[in-house]
Amino acid sequence: MDSIPLLPDRGGRRVFVALGDSFTEGVGDDDPRFPNGVRGWADRVAERLAKAQPGWEYANLAIRSKRLRHIAGEQLGPAVAMEPTLVTLYAGGNDILDFGTDIGALMRDYESLVAALAGTGATLVLFTGFDVKVSALLEPLKKRNAFYNRSVREIADRYGAVLVDYWCFDAFHDPRMWDSDRLHMSKAGHKYLASQVLDHLGVPHKIKPRDWEPPVKPGLLEWERRQRRWVRDWVLPLFGRKLRGLTLGDQLRPRWPEPVRVPRKGGLKKLLHDQRAIGQSGAR
């Protein structure tokens, strides 16, 4: 893994913009104190950046369920307008899960998005996708996922992007790194990914992976119970939304739509506290 020194700035400007879908929004890392009720790896990266180099601003435009075309159409323009010095992008995972996706066309559109972001001159971070062992029903998608990952690696190399090769992280074979829907990272998974992004950027941090005992393999009856609950709580609602043409992100706005200055101490929690205090004071 190659790392770079503390990120350069542009005349004192340090702006981190995160684009994407649920992966970057923070789904699975539940925290009601934060916008959209989640925190996520990108928030954690922003906080460590501010501790290492005061003055960082941070925007997170990611919204769950967004396809690549939505990210290009809705997030690219605002991101470029912010004149970022650091950009992270994960896009295309939801498209891979859609029936009838032309994976070749998808990756051509992905490269166009990467080219536009690289044109800002910002340090650009890209991610491969993890081969989630959700169900045998999704095994036919493995070829798409492999093509996606291979393409992302090639595109990252062409555009000089920092590649976080998520696919290679053995830690994510532990089911405790995943939320109950088995598709999104748990809080522990988001923390681990934040540490990997920071390591790739050469930013110091003290995020430590969980020191767990080996997972206990469930018995047959417990496994069947978990499978039924998963199908009831996640699979059937997912297909129901697909049939109705709905997504979980339809009524959501970006969590941090404009760059916010991240405090060195207390991070984004302190920022939210200060914003609420100002709002309550103004309402009197």
Short-list 33, 67, 27, CA closest to 272 = 33
Which pLDDT belongs to residue 279? 65
- In this prediction, residue 277 carries a pLDDT of 65
**CB-based contact 33:267 (threshold 8 Å):** no
pLDDT tops 80 at residue 245 = no
Verdict on whether the full-model pTM lies above 0.85: yes
Kindly state the average pLDDT of the residues 7-26. 89
pLDDT at 275: 77
pLDDT of 49 over the 50 cut? yes
Model pLDDT, residue 142: 81
- Averaged pLDDT for residues 14-31: 97
Instruction: Give the pLDDT score at 248.
Output: 80
Q: Is 232 exposed, middle or buried (0-12, 13-18, 19+ CB in 10 A)?
A: exposed
Tokens of 199: 């390591």
- Report whether pLDDT(10) > 80: no
Residue 34 has pLDDT above 90, yes or no: yes
- Between CA 73 and CA 94 the distance in angstroms is 16
Q: Confidence band (pLDDT; 50, 70, 90) for 30?
A: very high
pLDDT, residue 17, reads 98
Residue 1's pLDDT band (boundaries 50, 70, 90)? very low
Task: Look over the chain and give the mean of its residue pLDDT values, rounded to a whole number.
Answer: 88
Report residue 100's pLDDT band, with 50, 70 and 90 as the boundaries. Answer: confident
Q: Average pLDDT of 43-63? A: 96
* 2 vs 29, more confident: 29
pLDDT tens per residue across span 107-161: 999 999 999 999 999 999 999 998 766 555 556 678 889 999 999 999 999 999 9
Burial class (CB in 10 A: 0-12, 13-18, 19+), 37: middle
Q: Does the pLDDT value for residue 70 go beyond 50?
A: yes
Helix (H, G, I), strand (E, B) or coil at 123: strand
